Structure formats: structure tokens, C-alpha cells
């Protein structure tokens, strides 16, 4: 017989520090798998970090500065073993919009976003994510996929001086397409084809069983590793090509250029910025960021939680949005101390982490260490990476985010959801913040309209049976009054009303006032209103309101029997009022 279960001596600490759940059980077998997964993700994150810094409009080293602190913090505070934090395409696009390609702004944005996320986590405000609907998310990510991909076309073609605003970018790229550099275009398209081919190879790669010969298993491992680390392999190959051209003295490729070597200094972010005409104070910087201080923290959390939930459902563990907020907040705050711009969960790297067999978040420690080693010793080699190769890495990463099928799906399922989807999708091409805010507003309006105009079913007989299809909130009471009065008084002869409240779980004071006015209005015409199937919370509220002429029956059938007999097939006599003592529980 098992002994009594020992409780944790610090339950609050264990809830806030999820590492305490798995650290006491950590084993050598887990360590081996975490090492493999961490190294594999590290080979993916280094080239992606360089590429995403380009999307953010920042010097490339800031992509690497943003890639290690999140790995360390999430190891101790994160609730999902698969998730990896770092720069992503979506977050880099947002940083490009709100940091104005200034590292000082980007680092301060990370600090302030972290503070906001930390405060939201402590106040348990993770539920705010529920107000961002799926069509809005899909509209944003699909538009971002197109925007980011087209933003990299200039690097594939070797064009310089292309503006970053989407419509100007399209016009200028098409106008100057004759200036394409052949070397960049050939290398960029070759890298893109290689990445697509390796991705397809991995998706069609069958599982290798232990029963197969050793040579088959080794071959499978080589192919799987090559396909998983495809970004690093393609960038390495492109760098070798560029170096060969450099040795021969005829460089036909646009290179990344020098990247400062060494680790970033650990210091507070700057709260002001030197400008040619003076100093930009903290207040002005915050005003410049504007709505970005709401969009960046929410979108960062949304991306992380969505990824964590997707992988948690596959691995049967639970995600706490408020704990994820705390992890994101600490990661962004501490990241800003090492010159990081805002980070979030990466779907691609999380998928690589899961497929590599990671057992705990400790795999992030290996990934972060690999990024630090790259900053300390390998940045001189990054000089030879062609920009066309990094552009191919970005395009291959963001194109799968475009979901063409969502339009057809919503057309079949609920066409009204196409409105916030299309509003978000189209406005994001103008400005990202306008698209997200407009999409959330349209979704909110549709939600409020459904609350203000609930479905109301009316059945005619000796009395009118009115059944609201959802809870009653104050915007809906006028709709209910108009429906009841118009149908009851328009009948010949006018009929009394039974309000079936089985779907109403709560009401507010405005609804109580509206029901009192409805009772008086019907009584003026010699009609009665009875309630049936009231749930206990609603019944208690109505009893407390002491409504004049209030009547309640347990079911519609009993209400019709008691009321219909007195009505005599449609007469305007009121229902017999039940006594208050019969309404109270025995």
C-alpha cells in the first residue's frame, strides 16, 4: 500500500517556477536528448537571427543579441517543454513598424513590453487574448507572410535603396527590376530551391525503425539532420561560394558585411536617444511607439501561447497563459539588458525542438550557449554570408504562414467571419497596427451585435411562448421588449406572454429595469407576463428586485396550463399570480 503523498513545501514557488516540477526527476537519458535538440535548434536559430534582424531593420548582430536570453529564462519559467523564445518574422515586422529602425527604440520597446507582460501576468490578465479572434490572427499572419516575403525580394535581386512601405516597395521593385544583379538572383533562387527541396524531403521522410539495418538507420539520420539544419547548411554553402569569389578577386554578390565580435554589454536600456538636433527624451520615445506598446506585448504573448497550446495538445500537458506572460515578461526585460529587441515563441524552431525529441526546457540552455559561442568566436565568418541567402531563409520560413484555405473555410462555416479577416488582411498592407486594431474592433462590433440582438424564438398559441437563445445583457433588453410587445399586441386577439428563460444564466440591473417596464406595458393592455425555467441566480435577482406582478413557473407546460385555462383560449385575463413563498426553495 503506497504511503501518503507528500505535499510540496513551497507550492506557490513551484507554481511560479515550473523548473521545480521536472528538475528533481532529471535523468541522463533526458540530458542526451536535450543536448541533441538544443544543438539542432541552435543550428537553425543562428542564420534565422541574422535574417530576422534584417526584417526588423536593425544591424544583424541584434538578431543574435535577441536569441539567447529567452532560451535561458524560459528554461526556468516556461510551462511548455518544446517552446523556444527568440526573434521571429512576425515580431521583427512589428519592431520594424514601431522602432523606426533605431536600435535604441527597439531595446526600449523590449523593456517596456516586458514590463507590460509581467504586470499582466501578475494581474492574471491572460484572458485578454480571448478577445483576439482567429480570423484576425489569420488575416494578420497571412498579410505578414506576403509583406515579409516581398520585403526580401530586393535582396534576392540585389537591389539597393528600396523603400520599406509595402505599396512603394512593390512599385519601386517592379520599376527597377532591370537593375537586378545576376549573381544575387541566381544564388538567391538556388538557395530558395534548396530550402524548399529539403523541407519537402523532411516531410516525406519515413520513420526509421530499430529493426532496419545499421546502414539504413545511419542514412536516415544523415538525411534527417540535413533537412532539419537546412538553414545552416544553405547559409554555409552560400558563404563558401561568396568566399570563393572573394579569393578570385571578382565579388559578384552582395555580402552581409562586418558584424561586431563579442558578447553585448549587460546594462540598462537607454531611456533617451541622442539626435542631430538634441536629445529625444523618454516621454517622446514612448509617444512615438504609441499603440505599439499594446500590440507588441499582446502579439508576442499570442504567438507564444498559440504555439505552446498546439504542442501541449500533442504531448498532453497544460499551458498557463499567465505563467507564459511572466516568462515572456522576464525574458524581454532581461533581454533588453543585453541589447535584445522584443522576442516571442517561434513556431518553426519549436517544431524542430519537438521533432528532435526534447524532454525538458533545458534544451534551451544548449541553444542559448551555442548563440553565445557564435557571438564570441564566429562573427568574423558571417562577413561572407550573402544577403540573398538570408533572404531565401526568411522567405522559406514565412511563406507557409499564408493560409489560402482559410478564406474558403470561413465562406463555408460562417461568412460573417470573413469581414474581420479581410479588414485585417487588407489594412496590414498599409500599416500593421491599423490592420490589427481594425480587425479587433470589427470582431468586437460583431460580438457586441450578437449580444445586443440575441436569437429570439416565438411560438404562437393561446399564449405567446418567447424563448431567448442566449443570456440577456443590457444591450439586448430593448430588442426583447420590442419583439414581445409587437408580437403580443399585433395578435388577434392580443395574447399574454410566457418568457422561457432556460438559456439565461445571468442578468444585470438594466435588464431588470427593462423587464419591469415590459410588465407595466403589457398590464396597461390587460395582458400578463410570466417567467418559466428560471435558473437560480436569475430567480434570486428577480425576487430581490420585487417586481410588481412577477410570476414564475417551473416549466412552459405548467405555465400554459395555469395561464391558458384562465385566458380561455385567448382572453386578455392576467395569469393567477403565484405567492412569493411558493417561489422560495422549501
* Confidence class for position 191, pLDDT limits 50, 70, 90: very high
Q: Has residue 175 got a pLDDT over 90? A: yes
| Residue 9 CB partners (closer than 8 Å, separation 6+) | none
pLDDT of res. 566: 46
pLDDT, the chain, mean: 85
Do 310 and 446 belong to one domain?
Answer: no
Q: Has residue 562 got a pLDDT over 70? A: no
**Which ranges constitute the DSSP H helices of 129-281?**
134-151, 153-157, 166-175, 182-203, 214-228, 230-248
Q: Has residue 5 got a pLDDT over 50? A: no
Q: Is 106 exposed, middle or buried (0-12, 13-18, 19+ CB in 10 A)?
A: buried
For cell 579569393, the residue is 247
pLDDT of res. 364: 94
Do 367 and 491 belong to one domain?
Answer: no
Positive or negative, the CA dihedral 197, 198, 203, 206 is positive
Q: Of the residues 376, 401, 426, which one is the last residue of a structural domain?
A: 401
242-279 tens-digit pLDDT: 999 888 888 788 888 888 999 999 999 999 998 888 89
Do 86 and 126 belong to one domain?
Answer: yes
Q: Is 554 part of a structural domain of the chain?
A: yes
Q: Is 508 part of a structural domain of the chain?
A: yes
pLDDT of res. 579: 36
Least confident among 30-34, 180-184, 298-302: 298-302
119-169 tens-digit pLDDT: 999 999 888 877 888 898 888 888 888 988 888 898 899 888 888 788 888
pLDDT of res. 559: 61
Strands 464-468 vs 497-500: parallel, antiparallel or unpaired: parallel
Q: Of the residues 385, 401, 417, which one is the last residue of a structural domain?
A: 401
Do 352 and 463 belong to one domain?
Answer: no
* Confidence class for position 314, pLDDT limits 50, 70, 90: low
CB-CB contact of 420 with 131 (8 Å): no
Strands 552-553 vs 529-532: parallel, antiparallel or unpaired: parallel
Tell me the Cα Rg of the chain.
Answer: 31
pLDDT of res. 3: 41
Do 231 and 350 belong to one domain?
Answer: yes
Q: Is 362 part of a structural domain of the chain?
A: yes
Q: Is 289 part of a structural domain of the chain?
A: no
CB-CB contact of 296 with 98 (8 Å): yes
pLDDT of res. 558: 64
CA dist 287 and 273 (Å) reads 14
Do 133 and 250 belong to one domain?
Answer: yes
Question: How many domains in the chain?
Answer: 3
Do 68 and 98 belong to one domain?
Answer: yes
* Confidence class for position 578, pLDDT limits 50, 70, 90: very low
Averaged pLDDT, 342-369: 88
178 is written with which cell numbers?
532591370
Closest to 113 measured CA to CA, from 321, 286, 347, 353:
286
Q: Is 46 part of a structural domain of the chain?
A: yes
- Could you give the percent of the chain with pLDDT greater than 90? 36
CATH of the domain at 512: 3.30.750.24
81-129 tens-digit pLDDT: 888 999 998 899 899 989 999 999 999 999 999 999 999 999 998 888 7
Do 468 and 425 belong to one domain?
Answer: no
H/E stretch holding 367: helix 363-373
Do 428 and 325 belong to one domain?
Answer: no
99 is written with which cell numbers?
522602432
Q: Has residue 327 got a pLDDT over 70? A: yes
pLDDT of res. 575: 39
Do 470 and 494 belong to one domain?
Answer: yes
Q: Is 67 part of a structural domain of the chain?
A: yes
For cell 507582460, the residue is 117
CB-CB contact of 384 with 246 (8 Å): yes
* Confidence class for position 6, pLDDT limits 50, 70, 90: very low
pLDDT of res. 145: 87
Q: Is 408 part of a structural domain of the chain?
A: yes
pLDDT of res. 577: 40
318 is written with which cell numbers?
497544460
Do 227 and 309 belong to one domain?
Answer: yes
| DSSP of 266-322 | --PPPSSEEETTEEE-HHHHHHHHTTHHHHHHHHHHHHHHHHHHHHHHHHT----HH
Do 519 and 391 belong to one domain?
Answer: no
30-46 tens-digit pLDDT: 998 899 889 888 888 99
Averaged pLDDT, 545-566: 70
CA dist 444 and 133 (Å) reads 9
CA dist 106 and 505 (Å) reads 47
Q: Is 39 part of a structural domain of the chain?
A: yes
Q: Which domain holds residue 40?
A: 35-205+221-258+305-401
Q: Is 244 exposed, middle or buried (0-12, 13-18, 19+ CB in 10 A)?
A: exposed
Amino acid at each position: 500500500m503506497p504511503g501518503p503523498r507528500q505535499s510540496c513545501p513551497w507550492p506557490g514557488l513551484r507554481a511560479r517556477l515550473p523548473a521545480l516540477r521536472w528538475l528533481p526527476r532529471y535523468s541522463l537519458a533526458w540530458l542526451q536528448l536535450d543536448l541533441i535538440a538544443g544543438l539542432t535548434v541552435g543550428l537553425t536559430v543562428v542564420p534565422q537571427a541574422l535574417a530576422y534582424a534584417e526584417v526588423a531593420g536593425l544591424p544583424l548582430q541584434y538578431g543574435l543579441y535577441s536569441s539567447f536570453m529567452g532560451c535561458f529564462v524560459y528554461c526556468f519559467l516556461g510551462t511548455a517543454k518544446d517552446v523556444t523564445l527568440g526573434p521571429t518574422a512576425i515580431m521583427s515586422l512589428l519592431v520594424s513598424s514601431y522602432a523606426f529602425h533605431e536600435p535604441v527604440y527597439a531595446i526600449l520597446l523590449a523593456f517596456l513590453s516586458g514590463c507590460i507582460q509581467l504586470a499582466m501576468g501578475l494581474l492574471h490578465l491572460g484572458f485578454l487574448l480571448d478577445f483576439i479572434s482567429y480570423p484576425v490572427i489569420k488575416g494578420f499572419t497571412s498579410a505578414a507572410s506576403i509583406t515579409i516575403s516581398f520585403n526580401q525580394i530586393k535582396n534576392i535581386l540585389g537591389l539597393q535603396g528600396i523603400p520599406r512601405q509595402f505599396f512603394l516597395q512593390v512599385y519601386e521593385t517592379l520599376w527597377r527590376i532591370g537593375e537586378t544583379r545576376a549573381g544575387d538572383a541566381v544564388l538567391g533562387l538556388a538557395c530558395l530551391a534548396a530550402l524548399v527541396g529539403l523541407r519537402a524531403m523532411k516531410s516525406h521522410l519515413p520513420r526509421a525503425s530499430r529493426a532496419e539495418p545499421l546502414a539504413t538507420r545511419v542514412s536516415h539520420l544523415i538525411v534527417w539532420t540535413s533537412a532539419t539544419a537546412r538553414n545552416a547548411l544553405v547559409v554555409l554553402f552560400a558563404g563558401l561560394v561568396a568566399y570563393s569569389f572573394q579569393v578570385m578577386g571578382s565579388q559578384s554578390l552582395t555580402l552581409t558585411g562586418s558584424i561586431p565580435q563579442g558578447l553585448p554589454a549587460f546594462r540598462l536600456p537607454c531611456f533617451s536617444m541622442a539626435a542631430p538636433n538634441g536629445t529625444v527624451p523618454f516621454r517622446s520615445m514612448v509617444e512615438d511607439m504609441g499603440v505599439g506598446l499594446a500590440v507588441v506585448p499582446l502579439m508576442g504573448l499570442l504567438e507564444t501561447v498559440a504555439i505552446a497550446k498546439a504542442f501541449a495538445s500533442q504531448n498532453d500537458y497544460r499551458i498557463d497563459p499567465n505563467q507564459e506572460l511572466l516568462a515572456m515578461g522576464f525574458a524581454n526585460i532581461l533581454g533588453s539588458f543585453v541589447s535584445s529587441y522584443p522576442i516571442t515563441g517561434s513556431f518553426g524552431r519549436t517544431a524542430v525542438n519537438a521533432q528532435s525529441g526534447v524532454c525538458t526546457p533545458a534544451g534551451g540552455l544548449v541553444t542559448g550557449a551555442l548563440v553565445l559561442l557564435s557571438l564570441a568566436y564566429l562573427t568574423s565568418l558571417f562577413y561572407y554570408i550573402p544577403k540573398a541567402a538570408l533572404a531565401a531563409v526568411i522567405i522559406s520560413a514565412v511563406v507557409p504562414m499564408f493560409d489560402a484555405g482559410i478564406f474558403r473555410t470561413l465562406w463555408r462555416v460562417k461568412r460573417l467571419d470573413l469581414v474581420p479577416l479581410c479588414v485585417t488582411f487588407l489594412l496590414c498592407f498599409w500599416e500593421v497596427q491599423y490592420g490589427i486594431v481594425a480587425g479587433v474592433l470589427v470582431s468586437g462590433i460583431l460580438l457586441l451585435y450578437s449580444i445586443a440582438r440575441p436569437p429570439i424564438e416565438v411560438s404562437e398559441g393561446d399564449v405567446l411562448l418567447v424563448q431567448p437563445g442566449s443570456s440577456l445583457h443590457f444591450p439586448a433588453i430593448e430588442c426583447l421588449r420590442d419583439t414581445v410587445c409587437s408580437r403580443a399586441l399585433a395578435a388577434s386577439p392580443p395574447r399574454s406572454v410566457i418568457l422561457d428563460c432556460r438559456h439565461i444564466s445571468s442578468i444585470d440591473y438594466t435588464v431588470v429595469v427593462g423587464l419591469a417596464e415590459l410588465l407595466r406595458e403589457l398590464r396597461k393592455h390587460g395582458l400578463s407576463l410570466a417567467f418559466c425555467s428560471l435558473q437560480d441566480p436569475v430567480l434570486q435577482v428577480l425576487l430581490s428586485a420585487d417586481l410588481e406582478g412577477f410570476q414564475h413557473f417551473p416549466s412552459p407546460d405548467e405555465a400554459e396550463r395555469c395561464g391558458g385555462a384562465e385566458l380561455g383560449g385567448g382572453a386578455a385575463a392576467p395569469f393567477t399570480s403565484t405567492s412569493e413563498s411558493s417561489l422560495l426553495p422549501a
